[in-house]
Structure 1
């Protein structure tokens, strides 16, 4: 397909060239190899020198795309207009996002549509791949083998660490979670059952769990968090989501706030219609709808003494399908109109207390 680059802007490059390319590389929204957008950075600055090392400006931006293979690794993508050449400045900017401690991408891509370049994070001397738009098809296998979702997963496995090692400085190969808190900051979703105004500023206790290294060498954290709303607690129990099972490919839990550990959790579950459950205000009954739930949760933190603390991000997608009309009417009378499907995003902080 011929592309008229002269008439294209940055948005056109994202939609016409980059998004289809990412799909071919194995990334898709709402999967374990997810395409994420609008991921704001919360740390005040990039812990990476650019033109003046040690004097970085504050950084609160976002990459155009983060392609995230949950618990294994990620690729960031910086998109430019075809009228903008890929300059040293553009490469440095893309690298700053990729190397930022909240992202910690393995690779990053910079493209203006005309030319696409791929770099290994931390190695800016020359691109691993530099290819024109016309040459993309001939080199698609090379791109898949380097930055495709399966390649990122394989790269992670090849660099996994031996089980049985300590979790970090002062931590054995397994510790218990003995408490802590999750603090919800900014959230949006608009679902009446979630009550956004009641979530912002909410503090929920961490009730237990454990941290360990699995046989494949990955760091694991199983964390139990109290649910604020009875219906959500019931639904999460039905899909077996009593605990958040986080994983990370880091060798050890970091004790450095400038190089935090990134733990991730992805859930994709369905509770069929007719499953016994308790609905607030209606009592015990068979679930009058099919419940579908996808969630991506990320914890970015470091160990301070016996406390693991940091930032969190939540991205939930929930659906209540085939709802019985009478139940829908009863819920609407109690909660207002309930959408069939809704998305929910949020940020916050956490502190997890670890045993000795």
Structure 2
């Protein structure tokens, strides 16, 4: 059965509880703090007795868990980041959502959590978006940030996988995540992840582990860290919560994915857009020494991060080994070019020759 047919079949089995009132009239969409305002409804589905139960959509609300819920003690929690867009005709679009569904299941499997069915995922997500469609504002820079996540809910302080879980989707209206350019510190001591670990997964603990070294960088006047490999700190891998790209002359260079590096959907899309534009893309290990030398001799034209929340975030300077390197502004930068092309596809303003858009009907 095709995905759309499966979704239509499951829609009739969704337990839907509509909110009696909407909060939308109290929202200033021109002044949104990222991730702090939430729509009227949320999607919930529990895993009990070895299977996923009837999925529900209900008013956004607080939840009650026992203090012994395993997520609090053993960190079984994974999540995804997605966005929905509304075009000028009022149609709602998702961007490569099947990749998000696949990745949350890869993350779940790594943390010994049950995979979530594709039909449940899309039926719940699409119904939720249609119910809260007024929260999706049209126009470039506007979107609805979507947060699917899974947590272990079994009340037991026992160091083993839980037997019960909760899968949820909540949504938050968003404007641009970062404003302006970002200054970064190349990591020399701390690591984001290690070989054989969970760096490739969107595990909640990955992000918690970044907070302390990032706070140290911020004390020095930097917004983010570009993480280096855990063994030698000689190779650049990721930027904060984003994948990282370097433009050396007219070549675009980025680190390969591994069990340390997230297989970013925005990353994959930018690589494809670069190739569509005839830009040479090198997917290889990126030595710190190479980037510093390129900055010295002028061949380093750009550094930018890529991710769902920020889309593309240009980097204006970096520090390593007590040396600070400023990156001059560049007209017609790859960062701005690929960001525009990506956003035009997401907002249904240009051709989608790779079939990335998914219409919510």
TM range, smaller chain: under 0.3
Instruction: Flag the structure with higher strand content.
Output: 1
Instruction: Flag the structure with higher helix content.
Output: 2
| Bigger RCO (CA 8 Å, 6+ sep) | 2
Calculate the TM-score normalised by the size of structure 2.
Answer: 0.25
Q: Which has the larger radius of gyration?
A: 1
Calculate the TM-score normalised by the size of structure 1.
Answer: 0.25
